[in-house]
Amino acid sequence: MNVDTVTPGQSRAAGGSNVGAMLLPLVLAQFVCSYAASNMNVAISDIARDLGTDVTGVQQAITLFTLTMAALMIPGSKLSDIFGRKRIFTVGLTVYGIGALLAAAAPGLGVLIVGYSFLEGIGTALLIPPVYILATVFFTDTTSRARAFGSISAAGGIGAAAGPLIGGLITSTTSWRVSFVVQALMVGAIIVLSRRIIEPATEARKPRFDLVGAILSAAGLFFIVVGILQASTYGWFSATQDVVVGGVVVIPKGGLSPVWVLVFVGAALLAWFFWHIRSMDRAGREPLLSPRMFLNRTANLGLVTQNVQWLVLLGLSFVVSVFLQTVRGYSAIETGLILTPATIGILVSSMGSGRLAKRFPQAVIIRAGFVLTIAGVVLLLAFANATSNVITFAPGLLVVGLGVGAMLTSSVNVVQSSFPEADQGEISGLSRSVSNLGSSLGVAIAGSVIVSSLVTGNEGYAAALVVLIAFGAVGLLAAVLLRPEQVAAAER
């Protein structure tokens, strides 16, 4: 039976093969979680038909999955510091597996949301922070850590990009339910592989769990994203129909859209959260997240780039999938095949990320990635429409994949390397929370545009792509503000 802990020095000296064996389950775990966020896209029509719902219902399930991850990632990171990274990693995998099996047997949308959106989301929020914390601890020098982050980030990007193809193949040959069974089986295999993980010993003192901070941060993100989801039903600015709660009309048709009411409530809760953690920190108590995590300019800009990368990637995957199935009438496997160029692009650029990092500063790679990503979406907007040949989707998707794949690793490395090892638990949780919030916002915002009752056919598709281009420009601006010399100093 393996010993659960060793000293950091022993772990780092354990040898390449041993550390490589410990890295494998971390990489596979990231792949499965990212796959889960996108494989549903190509099965939207099948799921809606089987469960008696519509595109909006499936969109809500997907968004709630990524939202649950984003809302609970920071608490999950703190729990890993309290109870141990390997233990929380295993608990997360177990919860995820149970959720996958429940989703596979779902008789309706409600059970699907419980299994997929909530249980898989909670499991992911528990297991992902240890992935990045353990990788940071096992790989101490910049080169090996960059390779580890590269493997994990590439697995995340490939999982998200390959999700439509794999999900489409499974859905077309068997059923969308089998995709959840496959996830459960993979999780079981990862649990077995994770027995090789030897967790480095940590300090005897364990942090306390800030329950109030966890509730405030989760509730704030929940209200903001759920508010945005209401745009597809009630419109972005004025309510297109009465908003009824418990049989009472709380906002009449023509009044302010509930989108902004819910977003305001969420923003107020997040403001309360920041006040709470600052007050606790000043009082010498330990908050859920230290305020100093937000005082590092380089890390903050890196977090913005991470958020936008996943917003564009998951938002684009959802928009194109919905367009292909509802407007063009393609099946799940056909949709997955059309999206394959994005997978190829991410795979190619991820494989070359190590060589790129040796030749160019991280900030330059991130900027180039955003330029390619924006160019790819522009190509889709210009050439791929309701009547064009399917081949017109390939160039844009390939360029987007090349752009996103090139910068995924660099952004993670910039953020994680901006803090010492003692802060890796907190910054890992914050980093993953911001990335998953981007995924959630991408599906919520771009998805709400394409399924809005105010637009039809090609109009919604084009409008959603314009929105993604605008967000890509925000990410590019953040990358431009990243100074190469500051990034290099952080990595040292």
- 145-173 per-position pLDDT tens digit: 667 777 887 787 778 778 888 888 898 88
Helix axes 121-138, 424-450, angle to 10 degrees: 140
The three-class DSSP label of residue 199 is strand
What are the tokens at 47? 């799921």
Task: Report yes or no: 124 and 69 within 8 Å, Cβ to Cβ.
Answer: yes
17 pLDDT band (50/70/90 cuts)? Answer: very low
C-alpha distances out from residue 339 to 47, 440, 472, Å: 19, 20, 19
Mean pLDDT of all residues in 37-44: 80
Task: Report yes or no: 132 and 428 within 8 Å, Cβ to Cβ.
Answer: yes
Mean pLDDT of all residues in 189-212: 78
What are the tokens at 253? 């048709």
Q: Is the pLDDT of residue 374 over 80?
A: yes
- What distance in Å separates the CA atoms of residue 313 and residue 223, rounded to the nearest whole number? 23
Residue 5, strand partner residues: 199
Q: Is the pLDDT of residue 360 over 90?
A: no
- What distance in Å separates the CA atoms of residue 208 and residue 210, rounded to the nearest whole number? 6
Q: Is the pLDDT of residue 491 over 60?
A: no
- The residue that leads in pLDDT, 141 or 366, is 366
Q: Is the pLDDT of residue 14 over 80?
A: no
Task: Report yes or no: 64 and 345 within 8 Å, Cβ to Cβ.
Answer: no
Q: In 3D, which of 225, 290, 218, 302 has the Cα closest to residue 262? A: 225
- What distance in Å separates the CA atoms of residue 122 and residue 69, rounded to the nearest whole number? 6
pLDDT at 15: 42
Look at the block and give the residue holding tokens 């650029």.
349
- Lowest mean per-residue pLDDT among 47-51, 86-90, 488-492: 488-492
- What distance in Å separates the CA atoms of residue 215 and residue 221, rounded to the nearest whole number? 10
Mean pLDDT of all residues in 398-404: 93
- 203-213 per-position pLDDT tens digit: 556 778 889 99
pLDDT at 455: 53
Cβ-proximal residues to 166 (8 Å cutoff; 6+ apart), any chain: 35, 39, 179, 336
Mean pLDDT of all residues in 11-20: 49
C-alpha distances out from residue 211 to 195, 266, 281, 354, Å: 30, 18, 15, 40
Longest distance between any two alpha carbons in the chain, whole Å? 66
pLDDT at 57: 84
pLDDT at 112: 94
- What distance in Å separates the CA atoms of residue 297 and residue 73, rounded to the nearest whole number? 22
The percent of residues in the chain predicted with pLDDT above 90, rounded, is 29
- 281-317 per-position pLDDT tens digit: 898 888 888 888 888 888 999 999 999 998 998 889 8
Q: Is the pLDDT of residue 182 over 90?
A: yes
- What distance in Å separates the CA atoms of residue 327 and residue 455, rounded to the nearest whole number? 12
Cβ-proximal residues to 335 (8 Å cutoff; 6+ apart), any chain: 41, 42, 164, 168, 321, 324, 325
- 403-430 per-position pLDDT tens digit: 998 888 888 888 878 887 777 767 877 8
Q: In 3D, which of 311, 312, 338, 313 has the Cα closest to residue 325? A: 338
475 pLDDT band (50/70/90 cuts)? Answer: very high
Q: In 3D, which of 160, 115, 167, 154 has the Cα closest to residue 26? A: 154
- What distance in Å separates the CA atoms of residue 82 and residue 103, rounded to the nearest whole number? 30
Mean pLDDT of all residues in 206-225: 87
- Which residue type is seen at 287? P
Q: In 3D, which of 376, 393, 375, 374 has the Cα closest to residue 384? A: 393
